[in-house]
Chain A
Amino acid sequence: MAKDFREVLKTKDFVVTAEAAPTKGANVEKSVEHIELLKDKVDALNVTDNQSSVMRYPSVGICLLIKEHGGEAIFQVTCRDRNRLAIQADLLFAWSRGVRNVLCLTGDSIDVGDHKEAKPVFDLESAQLIHLVHTLNSGTDMVGNELNGGTDFCIGTTATPSADPLEPQLVKVQKKLEAGIDFIQTQAVYELEELKRFVEFVRKHDEKVKILLGIVPVTGAKMAQYMNANVPGIFVPQYMIDELAQAPKGTGINKGIEIAGRLIRKAKEEKLCDGTHIMFIGKEERVPEVLEAAGLI
């Protein structure tokens, strides 16, 4: 049985989490494979919520599967597809079925996904969602009704240390810290100076929150360039792109894993943060290689 994530955050020197995306469809075989592969290698597994606004099997469903298989799950909740009633209801359900950790996100816009004509909800955004979870944790719903059974979620959120411009993002981070969070999983950072700057900022406002360095292994120079141009808040430095470009054809992904391992190793050795969060969507089966490259297993 996996250890309770809140406990792990308190006691472990370097926390490791990874992400698993549900499949498109009712067949959860692949997810079970990923769970079996990763549940004992990481402290907790995030399950994404209609990630990139692409309709998939629900996050809470895979969280339940993780629990069934003896793993520890982090329930990702976005504000794009559900209003405040549905979100509260889903959180009560998740808690009742043993899910203990929640990651609060605003959510990608509808336009990046595959249901481009859907109505975006955004009844709330991430800061309001964090407040909402606290309310449920205190035994009442959002409008003050006492709950017949509240929750006690461990609360996490994301942040984008490589954002440009950074200052407006930090205002939002500060609001989230003031709302009270247990952990931050950052978006991918490839330049550790940016991580250092971010951690410094967070520590000014909250000494206890755990910061996990987000890692997205780049599979090649082209992918890195694409990400720099198209993915918000991502910055792969030129020297890294060059390194990827020099890798022999077909080995780009191995180089990417090597670089990812290197970043994590350095962050751990220099105690830059409290852990790492590995996002290798579509290649979950290669996460163990990243962990190996980082010296974590």
Chain B
Amino acid sequence: MHEGLDAQTFNNLFVEQLDTVDGIKKTAAAGAAFVRARIREIGFGRRIMPPESVTRVDLTRSTDHDTLIKIVDIEHNSKAMALNFAGEADERYIQGKRYAIPFFKIESEKFVKSEGELLAYDYPITKVIEENSIKDIQKVEDIKFIEYAEAAISLTGKRLVSAATAVDRKEMNSLFKMIDYDQLLADVCLMNTVDFDDYMVQPAIDIGSPLASEITVDGYKYQTILKRKLVVTNKHDILLPGEIWTFTEPAYLGNFFILNDIKFWIKKEADLVMWKSWEYIGEGFGNIRSIAKIELDVPNPIPVGGTI
């Protein structure tokens, strides 16, 4: 739990204090803190490109409609030259490039429950919020994250298709080289749990006997793979088995902005309690060369029964 708030306290705040104006305020504040804390932990997009808070003054309006964008600068190129003493380098009239990140809203459904039924829940109400609001919001974030990443590699062509049916170090190496060869540095590796399972059954002849023994007992417990940060997700509906991504450090990748902060709203009308969460975010990859993907020929769907 976040900020010293245990499930019991939160339950009390949530149910018992909703009959007063002050109680509703406290509940909303506690709910917002909880949502903020949890959403940071479970979205893979946020672990790869941590969000940055912005306020209205950081953003620009559109002349055509009532929406907001943030304009982000891209570092311009430059070069030096080897010259004779009497020579002079080329001139460069600097032309900065920039791009716009449009903001949009991600909002949970508005949940409604009677006070009595809510009390019948025998597990923390925080869990209800987590299952019904936080996961839904951060899932949309991750969907957009992958959608934008797909758009980037469709332009750069940094997409390898491999006939390998399981990931191993050789496939990972090929993936990272797409970034490293481009004068960038692959910093993060994103894969789903199915591929991670495959990675852990590599034979000792490939990964060395000590590591193979260790993995057999404890699993792969390191935070890095081939020196890259490892991010593993179970969201197979967003990241299909066999699809492994790599990204550079955030500074060379793009931007993820949150306008103000995630909001949590709660209201009680007679015996009905209703709540919802929403946030305004903008994300974009300013450097499309900083993303690469390998697609393995992993059987899909993964057999979940039958004979192997």
Asked whether A and B interact, the reply is no
